């Protein structure tokens, strides 16, 4: 599985998703321009801390951090692994945390 962090109207994000689809690699997309400003900022900080990246797309295939679309296009063979990179779990936790702020139990 690939986890792809994207933004709307990003041609490099579209190209990366097309490449992964052609390679028949399942994609889980996390849109960086969706959610509250606090949530988006927390995910940006996660990127700085874990990948030193500030642009999209940022691509993870299995446990491997690939990088942006240009790095994906340079790969000839995709090494798939069922384990997911830890940043995926952290980003999902951020989304859930922010979603639950507005829920009354």
For 42-83, write each residue's pLDDT tens digit.
888 887 888 888 889 999 887 788 999 998 888 866 655 445
CATH code of 73's domain: 3.40.30.10
Structure tokens at 54: 């500030």
Q: Is residue 53 part of a domain?
A: yes
CB 32 within 8 A of CB 8: no
Q: Is residue 52 part of a domain?
A: yes
Cα distances (angstroms) measured from residue 63 to each of 1, 49, 53, 69, 101: 9, 17, 17, 17, 30
Residues near 33 by beta carbon (within 8 Å), at least 6 away in sequence: 7, 8, 40
For 81-103, write each residue's pLDDT tens digit.
445 566 766 776 777 677 656 55
First-last CA distance in the chain? 34
CB 45 within 8 A of CB 89: no
**How many domains does the chain fold into?**
1
Using a cut of 0.75, tell me whether the model's pTM lies above it: no
Domain range enclosing 7: 2-100
């Amino acid at each position: 599985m690939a986890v792809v962090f994207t933004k709307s109207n990003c041609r490099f994000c579209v190209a990366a998703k097309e490449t992964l689809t052609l390679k028949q690699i399942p994609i889980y997309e996390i849109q960086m321009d969706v959610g509250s400003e606090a949530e988006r900022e927390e995910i940006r900080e996660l990127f700085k801390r874990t990948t030193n990246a500030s642009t999209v797309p940022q691509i993870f295939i299995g446990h491997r951090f690939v990088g942006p679309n240009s790095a994906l296009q340079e790969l000839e063979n995709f090494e798939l692994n069922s384990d997911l990179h830890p940043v995926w779990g952290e980003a999902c936790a951020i989304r859930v945390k922010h979603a639950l702020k507005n829920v009354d139990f």
